[in-house]
Amino acid sequence: MSKSYGDTKALDNVSFKLSEGLSFILGPNGSGKTTFIKILSGITYPDAGEIKVLGKDYGDLTKGEISFSFEKTNLSPSIKVGEYLSAIGEWRGEDNSREVMEMFELRNVESKRFSELSQGYKRRFLVASAFVGSPKVVFLDEPFSNVDIVAKKRMMEVFMELKRERNIVIVSHVFTNIEEIDSLVVLYNGKVLRNLHGKELQDIGGFKAVFSDGSVVVNDLDELVERIRNGQRPVSIKPVTLEDWLMDFF
């Protein structure tokens, strides 16, 4: 798929696949993430290319099949949390709003208006709204922005639970170490840097040894042994995380 704004190639002939379960579309600012979400949600059109979701052309998906939680919203400040979620459920064909509010710990703000919510609760509410009506595919744009560390951890646990029954795609400029993700796309400057699935992601590993002078040895056992023989002591030896691996690209 390609999409340009004037001379800027926001998506430059990109092609990637996401697996069932929980996926990440990751990229720094300006890499094309919002453009992709805007195309998928029908806000704008691609110049060329296609997207298939659940085996269908994305334009043919029904409101009960795909949902979005956008980073920015123009929701009316006066809408009430519980009433709004319930209305969305009815519109999508299944009002499971109570269950979703329970999951995202929103019951205590159920009767509040959107304008009365703190930034973190606003985000949780927007994320939760994407799960009401049990759509099969849920796209979450920056779901952790403004969310405190405890709520973030809880949200990740909820995603791990929900991914068994539906497909969740987190679109973000920051990677969050979630225990088990099923696929990953790294976008950079409108191009796909990496697209990994399942086992390919689990194979990212090894070790990282940091020395007191700041030097680092990654996955080189001979070098590590040699340095220790020469009297150097690593300050820490840790496993290489997916986050470390990603940092090498930027």
Ligand X SMILES: Nc1ncnc2c1ncn2[C@@H]1O[C@H](COP(=O)(O)OP(=O)(O)OP(=O)(O)O)[C@@H](O)[C@H]1O
Which chain residues interact with ligand X by CB under 6 A? Answer: 5, 8, 10, 27, 29-35, 173
Establish how many alpha carbons lie within 13 A of residue 176's alpha carbon, considering only the half-sphere containing its beta carbon. Answer: 22
Distance in Å, CB of 137 to ligand X, minimum: 19
* Percent composition of the chain: helix, strand, coil (DSSP 3-state, to 5): 35, 25, 40
Distance in Å, CB of 119 to ligand X, minimum: 17
Distance in Å, CB of 142 to ligand X, minimum: 8
Distance in Å, CB of 2 to ligand X, minimum: 12
Q: Which is nearer to ligand X, 23 or 34 (CB)?
A: 34
113: which DSSP letter?
B
Q: Give CA–CA dist 87/160, Å, rounded.
A: 26
Report the chain's terminal Cα–Cα distance, integer Å: 23
Q: Which is nearer to ligand X, 87 or 193 (CB)?
A: 193
Distance in Å, CB of 91 to ligand X, minimum: 27
Of 15, 11, 21, the C-alpha closest to 138 is 21
Q: Which residues contact 36 (CB under 8 A, 6 or more apart)?
A: 1, 11, 14, 25, 171, 187
Q: Which is nearer to ligand X, 112 or 173 (CB)?
A: 173
Q: Which is nearer to ligand X, 14 or 85 (CB)?
A: 14
Q: Which is nearer to ligand X, 6 or 55 (CB)?
A: 6
Distance in Å, CB of 162 to ligand X, minimum: 24
Of 247, 23, 57, 227, the C-alpha closest to 143 is 23
Residue 122: alpha-carbon gap to chain centroid:
17
Q: Which is nearer to ligand X, 172 or 183 (CB)?
A: 172
